[in-house]
Copies of this chain bind each other. A is one copy, B any other.
Amino acid sequence: MISMNEILKRLEGRLIVSCQAEEPEPLASPEMLTAMSRAAVLGGAAAIRSNLPQNVAAIHSALDVPVIGLYKKVYTDSEVYITPTLNEAKALLETGCEIIALDATIRTRPFGEQLKDITAYIRSNSDVLLMADVSTLEDGLLAAEMGFDMISTTLSGYTKETLDRAKTGRPDYGLLADLARKFNGEIPVFAEGRIWTPEDAVQAFQTGAFAVVVGSAVTRPQVITQRINEAVKKYQGKI
């Protein structure tokens, strides 16, 4: 395992590509997602963000870049789905990934589990870095208190309280600016969510991002096609 400082040095000022697909999507296999990730790395991605232990493990063993692992799982008693319980965290610890991302919103977790217990377990059983996926500045402050190594704007727009921020289709530069100002380089802040164009990525760095995560724009051909298609249909008056 390379050291925390070494990993951060490799990510600073760089692009990270999130490479995800879930059944029944056509690209939802470790082979396909590894090939997509390899293409992203050839294009200049400094790290890959990957969902589900089998994909995280495949990508980690095939490629020579740090992998941010997460494990999306929906439980009926909670809205938290990004590495929501200790079980998902344990599964990720088996993959070899360098960084584990967890939902770090203030929302209640499944079975009433506490985020601090999950992170404490990870800390005492591995050297993996912890990324807090947050939706607000408040989330970020709590994550920092809890000792997360890095904070990402991932969940802005994807919680009930922040839904309106997703409606614009634009990245949440406001939250990014608030977090970057607050932590002032002490904790790296990652920009993630609705970053589509080269201009979006540049603006994220201008706003203080330590690194920028691009997902759908690179690795979701279905979503990219849909997005162009909807603009065309709108122009044609069909929607």
Residue of B nearest to A34 (CB): B26
Q: Mark A14-27, 1 if CB is under 8 A from B, else 0.
A: 11010100000111
Question: Does B39 contact A236, Cβ atoms closer than 8 Å?
Answer: no
Give min CB distance, A30 to chain B, whole Å: 13
Question: Does A27 contact B36, Cβ atoms closer than 8 Å?
Answer: yes
For this chain, the copies found in one complex come to 2
Question: Does A201 contact B231, Cβ atoms closer than 8 Å?
Answer: yes
Q: Is A38 an interface residue (CB 8 A)?
A: yes
A32 to B199, CA, bound (A): 29
Q: Using CB atoms and an 8 Å cutoff, list the residues of chain A in contact with chain B.
A: 13-15, 17, 19, 25-27, 32, 34-36, 38-40, 42-45, 197-199, 201-202, 205-206, 212, 214, 217-232, 235-236
Question: Does A43 contact B236, Cβ atoms closer than 8 Å?
Answer: no
Extra 13 A-B pairs, beta carbons < 8 Å, given A13-B236, A198-B227: A15-B225, A15-B232, A19-B221, A26-B35, A26-B42, A27-B35, A40-B222, A44-B230, A201-B228, A201-B231, A202-B235, A206-B235, A212-B232
A interface majority secondary structure:
helix
For residue A228, which residues in chain B have a CB less than 8 angstroms away from its CB? 15, 197-198, 201, 214, 217-218
Question: Does A225 contact B26, Cβ atoms closer than 8 Å?
Answer: no
28 contacting pairs across A/B (C-beta < 8 A):
A15-B228, A17-B221, A17-B225, A19-B221, A25-B39, A25-B42, A26-B38, A26-B39, A27-B39, A39-B220, A43-B221, A43-B222, A43-B224, A44-B225, A44-B226, A44-B230, A45-B225, A197-B197, A197-B228, A198-B228, A198-B230, A199-B231, A202-B235, A205-B232, A205-B235, A212-B232, A217-B224, A218-B225
